[in-house]
Chains A and B, each alone.
Chain A
Amino acid sequence: MKAWIAFWNILLKDVRSYYLKPPNISWGLLFPLVWITMFLIRSGMGMDKLPDLLPGLVSLSILFGTTSVLSVTVTFEKKGRSFERLLLAPISLQLLMLAKTSGAILFGAINAFVPILAAMFLTDLSAVNWNFIVPAIVLIAVSSTFLGLFIAVSVKEVFEAQTFSNFFRFPMIFLCGLFFPVHSLPVFLRPLSYALPLTYGTDILRGSMAGTNMMPFGLDFLILSVFCAVLFYLTLRNINKKWIT
């Protein structure tokens, strides 16, 4: 019970201090909306084609919603030594890091529903298979958050966290099948696509929204879950190795 009081308050503090701040909202929401508008205008597609673009928009919203703040704040707190307060608290490192990441996961998942809600008013989404959408959104949010955390723990400076986040995020927009399928990429780039967790999350969204998935959902979910577990494990190992020297 005591550990959960700590968990809840770490989450609450991060949501208030970081996630509800305008810069985060602008990165998480405005940026993907600008992208999709650009795609719609550039391609001359009508609103009936929106379900084809929606998986990419949802993935993009989650990716930027989860990673825009987390990697920077963790690095910032580490540098300012306030992170030491958390490491000194009598709660396990696993629970602590889950508390630190829950805000990002929550914000990323909420971000995902903004374009979905908007699309509901603009086009017909009756063919969408909603049963897989929610778990896919949650897993994409978790894997993207853990990727952000992994980056944060791997660097020392705040600017490095920003640079490395973008180093991963921007290629992922093109490599993970957000706006065009992975099989349309040059062959030499495809292994990179399969090495990124967002590819599998986007595949589930594509399959659920437009029926154009490349792999069975079960396999996508399995691989995505493995990514989450491995990234979390590596992050904890890095913290133990680098921060508790």
Chain B
Amino acid sequence: MIHPKTNQTDDHQESLIQVDRLSKRFDEIIALDEISFSVNRGDIFGFLGPNGSGKTTTINILTGLSRPDSGTIRVAGLDCTKNPKAAQHLIGIVPDESNLYPELSGFDNLCFCASLYGMRKNERKERAKELLDLFGLHEAADRKFAGYSRGMKRKLTLAAGMIHRPQILFLDEPTTGIDVAGARQIRQLTADLNANGTTVFLTTHYIEEAERLCNRIAFIVKGRINRMDTPENLMRQTQGQHIVQFAFQATTEKACRPIMAEFPDCRCKTVSEGIRVESPQPIRVGPLVRLLEDNGMEVSEAKKILPTLEDVFVKMTGIEAKLMKQEKEKKMGGPA
């Protein structure tokens, strides 16, 4: 189900976030190097990149937690470059770590966050109850946040970010470190929110998550936007590319050697499942299997793979997406 992806890029759409030549440096490190992009109303805009690529720095600057060295930012037509507070009433933020108050209950946390946006008491309570129901947390409403599981914390943090019905929601790695079911639920909620009119700015290192949710994606590497387009247009990069994956009865590290020697047009690399052969020409599986078996490798499976956005990402950035994912999960302490 997830997302209908109806908000295709259109030149006539209203630009809600406009960033022009934004730069930021931390001592000798260039965190952002003159990046420019715009997010249209109704977009789910995905910002993809490895750790330290500048994703969180961008969010921090856009939300007013950090200042740019140069460049301009406009949010909903308001100039936020010099006055980052100008648009804070329009935006909601879900940071990469759950940062609610451990000593408060789930319900009190939401009511408190609502009060920060000037919501009155009755409105706060109603909205908090509504969100606790929506996220399936109503039974834990009176429990202290400190006692919540990681997934529950993530959901409540997401609820807190949307408590004041923001026009734009910034989601910084929303599904990192939580279980599969929880991640799936958060993705569905994000899609539903967007379907109800909220513009979403999503940073993630889960490429499949961005592929499923976003209608526009930017790849950011070392503070620079490497490529930005719709997933469909990005996928065109892999048109004409043919991939076959081979699995073996026993682990083998030398499987690529005979293929590379015999079929110089093919690219071959070792993956966790076995090897992956890529070619601009259609690949005939039979000769490859025979070659591998002649070289003493027992092929247990050979399957054609359709190119994914991950392949585009790897092609464009030279960064292995799986490595990026593992790195982040290690940091956060668990898989999504």
Interface, chain A (partner B; CB < 8 A): 1-3, 5-6, 8-10, 13, 17, 80-82, 84-92, 244-245
A-B contact pairs, 30 of them (CB 8 A): A2-B117, A5-B118, A6-B116, A9-B112, A9-B115, A10-B116, A13-B101, A13-B112, A17-B104, A81-B95, A81-B97, A82-B99, A84-B95, A84-B99, A85-B100, A85-B113, A85-B160, A86-B116, A88-B63, A88-B88, A89-B116, A89-B117, A90-B116, A90-B117, A90-B118, A244-B64, A244-B65, A244-B84, A245-B26, A245-B66
Which of chain A's residues have a CB closer than 8 A to the CB of B3? none
Are A3 and B99 interface neighbours, CB within 8 A? no
Known pairs A81-B97, A88-B88, A92-B85; list 15 more (Cβ under 8 Å).
A2-B117, A2-B118, A5-B118, A6-B116, A9-B112, A17-B101, A81-B99, A84-B99, A85-B113, A88-B63, A88-B65, A90-B89, A90-B118, A244-B64, A244-B67
Minimal Cβ-Cβ distance residue in B for A243:
B65
Asked if B93 is at the interface of the complex by the 8 Å CB criterion, the answer is yes
- B103 in contact (CB, < 8 A): yes
Q: Type the 1/0 row for B50-79, where 1 means its CB is closer than 8 Å to any CB of A.
A: 000000000000011111000000000000
Complex CA–CA separation, A20 to B233 (angstroms):
59
A87-B64, A244-B64 are contacts. A82–B100 as well, Cβ < 8 Å?
yes
Q: Does B283 contact A (CB under 8 A)?
A: no
| Residue positions of B touching A, CB distance < 8 A | 26, 63-67, 84-85, 88-89, 93, 95, 97, 99-104, 112-113, 115-120, 160
Chain B residues lying within 8 Å of A2, measured Cβ to Cβ, are 117-118
Q: Give Cα A19 to B194, complex, Å.
A: 41
In the assembly, what is the distance between CA of A93 and CA of B118, in Å? 15
Contact B112 A3 (CB under 8 A): no
> What distance in Å separates the Cβ of A199 from its nearest Cβ neighbour in chain B?
36
Nearest-neighbour CB distance to chain B for A17, whole angstroms, equals 5
Q: Indicate which residue in B97, B99, B103 contacts A17 across the interface (CB closer than 8 Å).
A: B103
Report the separation of the CA atoms of residues A90 and B89 in the bound assembly, to the nearest whole angstrom: 5
Q: Smallest distance from the beta carbon of B218 to chain A beta carbons, Å?
A: 23
Contacts of A245 in B (CB 8 A): 26, 66-67
- Docked Cα-Cα span, A87 to B88, in Å, equals 10
A1 with B118: CB separation less than 8 A: yes
A89 to B103: give the CA distance in the assembly, Å: 20
Across-interface contacts of B113 in A (CB, < 8 A): 85
Contact of B115 among A5, A80, A92 (CB under 8 A): A5
List of A residues within 8 angstroms of B117 by Cβ: 2, 6, 89-90
Task: From the candidates B66, B95, B97, name the one contacting A244 in the complex (CB within 8 A).
Answer: B66
Contact A80–B102 (Cβ < 8 Å): yes
Contact A6 B118 (CB under 8 A): yes
Give 10 nearest A-B pairs by CB, closest first: A2-B118, A9-B115, A89-B116, A81-B99, A90-B89, A90-B88, A5-B118, A6-B116, A82-B99, A17-B103
Complex Cα gap A1–B117 (Å)? 11
- Nearest residue (CB) in B for A91 is B116
CA distance A91 to B164 in the complex (A): 14
Give A226 to B95 CA distance when docked, in angstroms: 39
For the complex formed, measure the closest distance between the CB of A238 and the CB atoms of chain B, giving whole angstroms. 15
Q: Which of A9, A86, A245 has the most CB of B within 10 A?
A: A9
Q: Do B115 and A6 touch (CB < 8 A)? A: yes
CB neighbours of A92 from chain B (8 A): 85
For B88, list chain A residues within 8 Å (CB): 88-90
**A2–B64 alpha-carbon span in the complex (Å):** 19
In this complex, which of B99, B115, B116, B119 has the most chain A Cβ atoms within 10 angstroms of its Cβ? B116
Give the CA-CA distance A227 to B336 in the complex, in Å.
Answer: 52
List chain A residues, Cβ under 8 A from B112.
9, 13
Most buried by A among B95, B100, B102, B112: B112
Contact A13 B116 (CB under 8 A): no
CA distance A9 to B121 in the complex (A): 10
Q: Is there contact, CB below 8 Å, between A9 and B116?
A: yes
Chain B residues near A84: list those with CB within 8 A.
65, 95, 99
